[in-house]
Every structure is written in structure tokens, then in C-alpha cells.
Amino acid sequence: MSKARGLADLGNVYNDGALSNRNLIINGSMTISQRYGTAASNLGGSSVFSVDRFNCFGPSASSTSTAQQVTDTPAGFKNSLKYTCGTGLSVTGGDYAQITQIMEGNNVAHLKWGTADALDVTVSFWVKSSLTGTFSFGVQNGPTNRSYVAQYAVGVANTWEYKAITISGDTSGTWSSDNTAAMRLVWDMGFGYGATSTVDAWQAGDVHYVAGNVKVNETSGATFNITGVQLEVGDTATPFEHRSYGDELARCQRYYYRTKVSTYGQGTFYGYTLAGQSLGTVFTFPSEMRTSPTRSYGGSWTASNFGTTPLLQGDAQSCFVYQNAISTGSGYFVPLGSGYLTFDAEL
């Protein structure tokens, strides 16, 4: 890129109102993976966050498809998300395969979609696929009754390529401005429904792809990597906005938080009270969550007077881990090497 073009792009970004915090995507560099680390996760008919905030889904008939955080990246990145098709199949009916990020209304309300003042946005990303051809990409509102389908081409197999798609702001439809689902970005891996011949335009309905476009889940062993995902205001794709690991982690923890396994007592809950009374402790989240999360625990734990299934309740700020009517005045609930707690407020 020439210096003149770079200065022009910078001027466009300034006019659009953002020099920093312009990327509305969370974990676009695929660096945070609280649930699975670098392990492959099975997608057979399941919704899996193989890396944080990116939801992967594979057809139930293709149970060997997987998603995984890997280190295969273009220059300047550490991680990518890799989707691998197991046994290829023709996806039909209501089955589908996709990679998606669902965005909270609080984070995109300033786009003013659904009004006459709706702002244009640009989505950019790096992609590497074992398949070449034209692929489908879509944007939808929370209720999935407003859709925009675009296309992008992969020209060389197994080679990182940069893509940018500008999307006009939608002046119609319902776009939430609170903590509920407002926007969905969808990379088509193989939809069996929602075909459209209308591209680069908003339309009513739940549509996802253009007939004849490449579907990764139809080819056995096909792979699709993505990283550097950025969504920003305006018609200009700017260089990817890298955030610190801590900043990105905190953003992800608004939607999902998993306590880390520790040999030094992290996750240990101990207390003392009168026999027959409740015993517990308050666990405060590192970030306020989007809403009161689903609370659970996994791995191995040992307990005394706490019972083997402690009760968990709370809100978006904290969790109360407790047991009712313990038999003695003290108790504990301690992880054994693999024990952890999870708090899920995903959209």
C-alpha cells in the first residue's frame, strides 16, 4: 500500500469516528480459548465455542467434523480457528454448518441499524481453505428475519488470503440496543436451507447463502481457517486492531468464564457455621457478565459436609457457592487437579 493510500484510509477512519476501539468483534484474532485450549472439539449436531465468541456448528449427520484453535496463521497473528470437515455430505433440509459470532446490542447500538441514520460497516478477515471458489458470508439481526448475503472468492488453495466486505447499514428491521442478540455474522460451511439469489442487499427472511457457492462440509477432509476478523464503521477496511491479551480475555469473560485448575487452592471453598445451617462463599467474577449466567462445575472435586453437588446461585456480578443444612459446623469443596467452575452467559 502506498503512503498516499494509507493516509487517505486514515482520513476515512477519522471521519467515521474511530482511531482506536474501532473493531467491534471480540476475539477476532482467535487468541482466547477458555473451554478447549488447543484441543479439537467435535461438532456433530452441536454448537461449540472452540475459541471464545465464535460459535461453530456441524451437521448432525457429520459427527466427525471438528473445530480447533491452531497456530497456522498469516504474518502478524498467533492463532486461527480451523474448521475441518470429517465425512463430507450434501446438507439438506433444516441441517446446517456454520461459523458465527453473535453480537450484543450494547456493542453495536451506535450503528443505528433499523433507522434512517444506519451506518455502513466493513467486515474484513484472513481466510485459508483447502477449497477454492466463491463462498457465502452473511449478516443477520437477532430475530434472523433481516439478512444480507455477500460473496468472497478464495483463489488459491491452502494459502492465506485477505478479504474485505462493505455492508450498507440496514434502515429496516429490529436491531436490539440492549444486552440481547443484535447482530449475527455468519460464514457458511454448509446450509441446507436459506438459499438466495439476492446478494449485497438487505432482504426480509432467514437466508444464508447463494446456490452453487462452496460448502466446506460437502468435501471430506476439507479445511477452513479464519483469523483477523474485524468489523468497523465505514467503507474502509483498516489494518487489524490488535488488543492486549488481558483486554481481549476480559471482553470474552463477559460471556463465558471458567475458573482455572490450580494446585495452590484456587477454586477451594471453605467456611464455618452452626450445625444445620447453610454454609457457603461468594465468588466474584473478573468481569460483569452479560446477564446472570448458567452456573455449573466440572472435573474432579472432593467435599466435606458440602455435599458432592454444591448449590450455585447469583447474578451477573457474582456467584454464591453453598450447601444447605450441613451436618457439622464446617465444610469445604476443593478441586482435585481437574476441578473447575463455569459461568455461561453466551448469546
For the ranges 116-130, 257-271, 273-287, 320-334, the one whose mean pLDDT is highest? 116-130
140/98 Cα distance (integer angstroms)? 13
Computed over every residue of the chain, the mean pLDDT equals 89
DSSP 115: S
All cell numbers assigned to 87: 465425512
- 320 with 278: CB under 8 angstroms? no
117/225 Cα distance (integer angstroms)? 35
Q: Which of 40-44, 113-117, 187-191, 240-244 has the lowest mean pLDDT?
A: 40-44
b/e map 101-134, b = 16+ CB within 10 Å: bbbbbebbeebbbbeeebbebbbbbbbbbbbeee
Res. 278 pLDDT band, cuts 50 70 90: confident
pLDDT at 199: 98
Res. 117 pLDDT band, cuts 50 70 90: very high
63/59 Cα distance (integer angstroms)? 7
Query: pTM here?
Result: 0.92
Q: Which residue range(s) make up the domain with 109?
A: 3-253
CATH number of the domain enclosing 146: 2.60.120.260
For residues 120 and 190, state if they share a domain.
yes
Domains in the chain, number: 2
DSSP 316: S
Q: What is the CA radius of gyration of the chain?
A: 22
For residues 184 and 276, state if they share a domain.
no
For residues 84 and 187, state if they share a domain.
yes
216/204 Cα distance (integer angstroms)? 26
For residues 185 and 97, state if they share a domain.
yes
For residues 63 and 114, state if they share a domain.
yes
122/133 Cα distance (integer angstroms)? 22
pLDDT at 3: 66
* Segment 168-176 mean pLDDT: 98
Number of Cβ atoms within 10 Å of the Cβ of 193 = 14
- 245 with 134: CB under 8 angstroms? no
Instruction: Decide if pLDDT at 1 tops 80.
Output: no
For the ranges 45-49, 56-60, 101-105, the one whose mean pLDDT is highest? 101-105
For residues 243 and 315, state if they share a domain.
no
330/274 Cα distance (integer angstroms)? 8
Could you tell me the strand order of the sheet in which 223-233 lies? 41-42, 66-70, 80-84, 223-233, 121-129, 161-167
293 to 21, 219, 253: CA distances (angstroms): 26, 37, 11
CA-wise closest residue to 214 among 94, 130, 289, 303: 130
All cell numbers assigned to 157: 488453495
Domain boundary, last residue among 253, 271, 294 = 253
Res. 254 pLDDT band, cuts 50 70 90: very high
For residues 242 and 107, state if they share a domain.
yes
For residues 80 and 198, state if they share a domain.
yes
For residues 31 and 139, state if they share a domain.
yes
Residues above pLDDT 70, as percent of the chain: 89
Residue that is written with C-alpha cell 474511530 in the block? 18
* Segment 312-316 mean pLDDT: 90
Domain boundary, last residue among 253, 272, 288 = 253
Domain boundary, last residue among 202, 227, 253 = 253
28/99 Cα distance (integer angstroms)? 12
For residues 107 and 181, state if they share a domain.
yes
For residues 245 and 269, state if they share a domain.
no
For residues 161 and 236, state if they share a domain.
yes
- Over the stretch 191-214, which tens digit does the pLDDT of each residue have? 999 999 999 999 999 999 999 999
